[in-house]
Structure 1
Amino acid sequence: MFISKKKYQALEKRIADLEGQVQSQQEIKVSIVADEISRQIAELLKERNKLNFY
């Protein structure tokens, strides 16, 4: 199957754009997970401090 140079370049650009979108989504997911882990650690430390004072 023959693809013209113009169509091939457009396809390459579309693939690069999609790769960028996927990378962005992965970074957002990592950030959300990191925030949740931080929140859980803070909660555990808060509970731990309550136990130490009594």
Structure 2
Amino acid sequence: TALGDCRLLIGNSVAMGYEDGWLMGAQLFADRCISINWKEGTLGFADAKI
């Protein structure tokens, strides 16, 4: 899915074909999402592709 579709997308990124251990989280703003990395215990932000 595109990053623009990440509102409340709590999906395992490994199941989606990624190996980085990130979970997509809730959309904070119209073009920004928050993610958590359960392997490293860190938070990250992603810009949506509009």
Tell me which protein shows more strand as a share of its residues.
Answer: 2
| TM norm structure 2 | 0.15
| TM norm structure 1 | 0.15
Greater CA radius of gyration, 1 or 2? 1
Q: Which has the higher contact order (CA 8 A, sep 6+)?
A: 2
